Each structure stands twice: as C-alpha cells, then as structure tokens.
Amino acid sequence: QLQLQESGPGRVKPSETLSLNCTVSGASIRGGFYYWGWIRQPPGKGLEWIGFMFGSIHYSDSTYSNPSLESRVSISVDTSKNQFSLKLSSVTAADTAVYYCARAKGSGSGWFDSWGQGTLVTVSS
C-alpha cells in the first residue's frame, strides 16, 4: 500500500528557506510513470500546487514549478532513501500553510491519487 509521509521543521523564520522531505513507502519513486511533488493549503484557504518532478528514471531531470513560485522552488530526489524534498527560499508569512506531498498518475499531467497527511509550516520570527 502506497504511503507518503512529510517531515521537517514546523516553524521557519522570515527570509529563510523552508525545507521538507517526503518519504515514500510501498512504491519506488523511480518506478513507473508518475509525478511526485508538493501542494500547499494556507489556513482556511484552497489548494495550490508548488512543484513536481517526473519520477521515471528515464526522465530524471524533469521538474515543474508553479510559475507564481518558480524562482523560489527547488525539488530534488534521494533514490537511496526513496525520498524527495522541497526547498522554498525567502519565505514570508504568506508561505504559512499545510504542506502536502502527493503523487500524480494517469494521462495529461495526472490526477493526485495519493497524499501525505500534511504538515503545518508557520513562518514567524
């Protein structure tokens, strides 16, 4: 059974870099043709995709970021740990949100079929 689990600090100071990890169990990030990445939800608000990477070993450099965040987003993978990571630089209070890691499958860019439980990150000094 596929499971995704986010981990990382719950609080980040303004102007610093937010760093989160997502550990995947039940499937290999490099197996199949799936996107793996990050979605966030500010308190009481809707969902926003942050960035995704294509997991197939044949397309290992393919990453995609939301244009509204692109200059601040970096996504990387650690195959040995079956884990992928998010770095979001120069954070402000507007980046306070629940951050989810997720998998997208299927045609087009794919629908999100598996989600982590989410982790709240607060940007505050």
Partner 1 sequence: DIQMTQSPSTLSASVGDRVTITCRASQSIGSWLAWHQQKPGKAPKVLIYDASSLESGVPSRFSGSGSGTEFTLTISSLQPDDFATYYCQQYNSYWTFGQGTKVEIK
Footprint of partner 1 (CB under 8 A): 46-49, 52, 64, 66-67, 100, 104, 106-113, 115-118
What are the CA-CA distances from residue 99 to residues 12, 31, 56, 59, 85 (Å)? 13, 24, 23, 25, 12
For the bound state, the minimum distance from the C-beta of residue 113 to partner 1, rounded and expressed in Å, comes to 6
The helix (run of H) or strand (run of E) holding residue 100 is: strand 97-105
For the bound state, the minimum distance from the C-beta of residue 8 to partner 1, rounded and expressed in Å, comes to 16
Cα–Cα nearest to 64, from 77, 48, 49: 49
Closest CB to partner 1 among 91 and 99?
99
Q: Give the integer Cα–Cα distance in Å for 34 and 103.
A: 7
For the bound state, the minimum distance from the C-beta of residue 74 to partner 1, rounded and expressed in Å, comes to 17
Closest CB to partner 1 among 10 and 46?
46
Closest CB to partner 1 among 16 and 69?
69
